[in-house]
Amino acid sequence: MSGTLVEIQGLNKQYVLSGGFFNPQKRIIHAVNDMDLQIFQGETLGVVGESGCGKSTLARLITRLEKPSSGSINFKGENIFSFDKEALKFYRRSVQIIFQDSYSSLNPRKSALSMIKEPLTIHRLGGKKERNEKALDVMAKVGLKKEHADRYPHEFSGGQRQRIGIARALVLSPELVIADEPVSSLDVSIQAQILNLLRDLKKDYKLTYLFISHDLNVIRYISDRVAVMYLGKIVELALNNDIYRRPLHPYTRMLLSAVPVCDPCKKEKIIKIRGEARAENEKGCLFQNRCSYKIDICERIEPRLEKFDEQSFCACHRAGSI
């Protein structure tokens, strides 16, 4: 494995929700909860979990669109939240994001070419001619034609709009690209095209990906390692093949059991969701109220993410025994 590009240590992000008229008491939501994570140079790290588990909040923290409640994110050994104005500007060139909604993330009043070259203008890279040439070159790399340059977002299909978003992210030649569910709103056939494009671009531009999705099939296809999130925490982290061949955490097993099987003759046991998520003030394991394998220690002590074997980590008291 290559060197560490991003190291997350003790990261927390809390949101305070004010109560209503009849219940004025405020609630604290832990969107990201004491997270430790490493992203290695040149890998694709997939992050998977159900809606509301904190995946997109993690993406916004890494891109510094949000500030954490506590903890640090180190990029090449430097804490990104201590950057001055110049260092932050260079960091924003090195880390780019592809958004989920390809329509709302594009300016409806700007043409494809102007949106793709806008980052070059903001960072004052090259003259007008060089910016146009660079933008057109990246457009070609993502599968857009020269005649698409002067068209506006409403004139493109969903897949073409996402290609514009990808081109805009790549035009600054970043080191890390965060893809926040980039194919979830696309048809299955278009999803495959975009995923293959992202894999090709990774080789051409020597990129590192943090790929966020709730679709386990997409994560399996594109990722080198997979991190499973539940209620703001990483509950399992392993190599792609290992996590699908031998899931250690009950939550991972539950997610995998819900993936549709193509073979109609093959019957898979679906692990049904039961119970409610653990309340903020409860002790013990985050997953205890939904877990079929719960034992006494699960109600008293919250398991930490610990090394299970050479490449696997799991936050479960019964890891390897279920």
Span 219-260, pLDDT tens digits: 999 999 999 999 999 999 999 999 999 999 999 998 988 877
Give the model's pLDDT for residue 141. Answer: 95
Q: 5 near 39, Cβ under 8 Å? A: yes
Helices of type H across 110-187: 112-122, 128-141, 158-170
State yes or no: pLDDT of 198 exceeds 80.
yes
pLDDT digits (tens, 9 = 90+) for 39-73: 999 999 999 998 889 999 999 999 999 999 999 99
pLDDT digits (tens, 9 = 90+) for 9-18: 999 999 988 7
Give the model's pLDDT for residue 70. Answer: 95
Q: Give which of 210, 250, 205 is closest to 226, Cα–Cα.
A: 210
Give the model's pLDDT for residue 38. Answer: 96
Q: How far apart are CA 153 and CA 161, in angstroms?
A: 7
pLDDT digits (tens, 9 = 90+) for 105-151: 899 999 999 999 999 999 999 899 999 999 999 999 999 999 999 99
Q: 58 near 228, Cβ under 8 Å? A: no
Kindly report which listed range (33-42, 271-280, 296-305) carries the lowest average pLDDT score: 271-280
Between helix 188-205 and helix 158-170 the angle, nearest 10°, is 20
Give the model's pLDDT for residue 264. Answer: 65
CB atoms within 10 A of CB 56: 19
CB atoms within 10 A of CB 112: 25
Q: Give which of 209, 183, 200 is closest to 140, Cα–Cα.
A: 200
Q: What is the largest CA-CA distance in the chain?
A: 68
CB atoms within 10 A of CB 174: 20
Q: Give which of 47, 39, 33, 54 is closest to 214, Cα–Cα.
A: 47
State yes or no: pLDDT of 32 exceeds 60.
yes
Strand partners, 226: 46, 238
Q: Give which of 69, 37, 29, 95 is closest to 228, Cα–Cα.
A: 37
**Mean pLDDT over all residues of the chain?**
90
Give the model's pLDDT for residue 267. Answer: 62
Q: Give which of 8, 5, 2, 1 is closest to 305, Cα–Cα.
A: 8
Q: Is the dihedral of CA 169, 171, 172, 173 positive or negative?
A: positive
Whole-model pTM?
0.91
Of the pLDDT bands very low, low, confident and very high (cuts 50, 70, 90), residue 314 is: very high
Average pLDDT over residues 156-174: 94
Of the pLDDT bands very low, low, confident and very high (cuts 50, 70, 90), residue 22 is: confident
Of the pLDDT bands very low, low, confident and very high (cuts 50, 70, 90), residue 172 is: very high
Between helix 158-170 and helix 128-141 the angle, nearest 10°, is 130
Q: How far apart are CA 249 and CA 322, in angstroms?
A: 9
Mode of pairing for the β-strands spanning 176-180 and 208-213: parallel
Domains belonging to the chain, first-starting first, are 2-223 (3.40.50.300)
pLDDT digits (tens, 9 = 90+) for 250-287: 999 989 888 777 666 666 666 766 777 776 667 899 89
